[in-house]
Amino acid sequence: MGKQRKTWTTDVKEAIVLSVLRGELGVAEAARQHDVNESLIHSWKAQFLEAGRARLAGDRPDQGVSLLEREND
């Protein structure tokens, strides 16, 4: 059988991304310490920053739900 995929909790992902953004660790060093592929850290970092940008722009995660609820009413 194939190798089982490893999963990381949101808290672990956040800690890794924040340590890279703060400059405490480089991407390569964080990848070695946490046994994560560098490209995955880059992906998490991009997702983290994009979500922050969207939130600052006023996007709210529940906007789609609210819109659907109003449509249903």
Confidence of residue 62 (pLDDT cuts 50, 70, 90): low
Q: What residues does each domain of the chain span?
A: 10-72
8, exposed or middle or buried, with CB in 10 Å at 0-12, 13-18, 19+? Answer: middle
Q: Is 43 within 8 Å of 15 (Cβ atoms)?
A: no
pLDDT over 80 (residue 67): no
Contacts of 31 (CB under 8 A, 6+ apart): 37, 38, 40, 41
pLDDT in tens, 4-21: 888 899 999 999 999 999
